[in-house]
Amino acid sequence: MCGILAFFSSRGDAGAHRDAVAGALECLHHRGPDETGIDVVDGDVVFAHKRLSIIDVESSHEPLSYANDRYLLTFNGEIYNYLELREELIRECGAIFATQGDAEVVVAGYHHWGEQVLTRLRGMFAFVIWDRLARRAFGARDYFGIKPMYYMDTTDGLFLASEKKALLELAGPLPVDGASLSHYLTLQYVPEPRTLHEGIQRIGSGELLRWTPLDGVEVERWFRPVFQPAPVDDEQKVFDRIRDTLRDSVRVHMRADVPVGAFLSSGIDSTAIVALAREFNPNILTFTVGFDVDGYSEIGVAQDSARHLGVTTIPTVIGPQDMMDALPKIVWHLDDPVADPSLVPLYFVAKKAAEHVTVVLSGEGSDEFFGGYTIYREPLSLNSIQRLPHPLQRGLRAMSRVIPRGVKGKSFLERGTTRIEDRYYGNARMFAEVEKRVLMRRNDGSVRYTDVTAPIYAECTDLDDVTKMQYVDLHTWLRGDILVKADRISMAHSLEVRVPFLDKDVFEVASTLPVGLKLPPRSNATKYALRRALDGVVPPPIVNRRKLGFPTPTRVWLRGEMYEWARHILATSGAGELLDLGYAEDLLEDHRRGEADHSRKVWTVLVFCVWYGVFVDGTIDPGIERNQSALLTKPPLSSPVA
């Protein structure tokens, strides 16, 4: 696990950029405080990294060389089947290894299998390999986008980094991307591959990158998750397969040479991970977080689960001042704003976990794979309308327009007569297009949420509406919100988060489930197949418990303890050049008076204002201390062998 920063020179003058790259690397110190390295290779490349040692702690230094130094690898992530791949490479290819780590398996696999090595990897990764003989770079991100990779293509060459802030150090001030801002205000995150800065993009989830000095950069999709729901003859066999596959995923995700713990909330996902993990380590430590506000703490349920499972859980309680104090640091670590309030409790539970362990297991991905969001039931409730002939649906649509807002039945008719492609754009729905025309100072209406979702819907036209919603969330919400916060907030504390649900073998099972095994028609349950698979594994009270997921009392605090703080941010932010902050202040006042619950919208604007103060006009100090560690020195690389 590490923070990556690399420069590939178009002019053969990489050495001239070494000091600038070394300085920018210190932005990534939190990703790898155990080891720092800077290497200039043949005038073509500067490899810089910060290492968090997890596997093969005493070796596997980066950039890791292979085949007489022909290939050089810089790698972020973990390959959980590296032991099996290592044996296969030795047995079938005669591969020779100099380390005991997982990173060398990646570069050895590339040497013997080429780009097809990607399909054999089981894990989370973002890496780049430099072929010194061919003068070619090859990089990739994992299947579902667990590990990040940003890039900046310039006339000098290609820059790659684990976090955008390192590239901003090298690029200097860049304009705010208006389209990305518009998408953020709708979705509460910036969707891949964009960022909020023009000129810097992300390699997308499941994408690879090729680069040469002559041809420049090429990005291509190498993995596309495909849902293939199929009829089931024997449900119990399906449940058994889910349980056995998830158990195996947890087993390999616990491979590490450092202590491994787990997050524990009140829901089935994290509880399932802990229940299975304790089979391999009965003494696993768990960590939970809550608030001293009624209805907003999962600590009690998590402690009950921990007692039932016979494990220790360490709680953390936070208050409104903690939230206000931490937000600038959180936003700095995020690179781009994510207006998900659960980032704050995650920040504090990760901080606590890092005091005890280096790796934690977490339950992300279960909802997108197995149908866990309540909104996924919507198509089932609308079947009665959507089965009607189209002329009748058009009549009902016209009727809905004359029904006053707030009258029972209006929303049902509107949703029932609207295609899934036009009504669902992911789990978060912040500002509507009409609201953004008021809020945004530069908005001609040319950017819409469908710019993000339409290409995704075009890939899944043959799926039922429920599975289409899963597919959209897998490509937007999971990548833009869930996994961004999991990676950035854990790495803020030099803590590695592993997500056993987001395993290619687990997806292979989940992708075949029919709708009836995810959302049974005569029940309010979600993730039905997963819940049945975990009978006898997860404590009975948790199996059917409604998902909470570290809830945050933002709604309550913005009416009380956080009101003056929020008003001050809106009144003083330089982001007023892009947003009508007076409109946002009106929303805050309406919220305070209890006229409406605008907490999520207000929070979305507040997070952007803090981001603007940190990354654009510099008026907000995130309080991050720059590291001044000495650089690791290694012997020079030998010449590549033809």
Residues, the chain = 642
Whether the CB-CB separation of 163 and 150 falls below 8 Å is answered with yes
Could you identify the residue written with the tokens 């654009």?
A: 616
**Hey, what's the torsion of the CAs at 386, 391, 393, 398, to 10 degrees?**
170
Which pLDDT value is given to residue 627? 65
Which pLDDT value is given to residue 547? 58
For the domain covering 235-372+474-543, report its CATH number: 3.40.50.620
CA 275 to chain centre: 24
Which pLDDT value is given to residue 521? 85
**Could you state, in chain order, the average pLDDT of each consecutive group of 10 residues for the chain (642 residues)?**
92 95 96 93 95 79 92 96 97 94 96 97 98 97 97 96 97 94 96 96 97 96 96 96 98 95 92 96 96 84 91 95 96 97 95 97 96 92 83 81 80 84 87 94 87 95 96 96 97 97 97 96 89 90 66 92 97 96 97 95 98 96 71 39 34
> Kind and range of the H or E element at 165?
helix 164-171
Which pLDDT value is given to residue 194? 95
Tokens of 13: 């003058």
Output b/e per residue, 356-365; b: 16+ Cβ within 10 A.
ebbbbbbbbb
Helix (H, G, I), strand (E, B) or coil at 597: coil
Which pLDDT value is given to residue 639? 39
Whether the CB-CB separation of 479 and 144 falls below 8 Å is answered with yes
Contacting residues for 291 by C-beta, under 8 A, at least 6 apart: 297, 317, 318, 319, 345, 552, 553
Give the type of residue at 14. Answer: A
> Which one of 2, 27, 460, 609 is the catalytic residue?
2
Angle, helices 465-475/450-458, rounded to nearest 10 degrees: 120
Q: Cis peptide before 328, with omega less than 30 degrees from 0?
A: no
CA 325 to chain centre: 24
Q: Determine how β-strand 123-131 pairs with β-strand 136-141.
A: antiparallel
- Domain map (residue ranges) of the chain: 2-221, 235-372+474-543, 554-615
Contacting residues for 325 by C-beta, under 8 A, at least 6 apart: none
Q: Is 2 marked active-site?
A: yes
Cα–Cα distance between 219 and 144 in angstroms, integer? 16
Question: Which CATH architecture group holds 2-221?
Answer: 4-Layer Sandwich (3.60)
Which pLDDT value is given to residue 631? 40
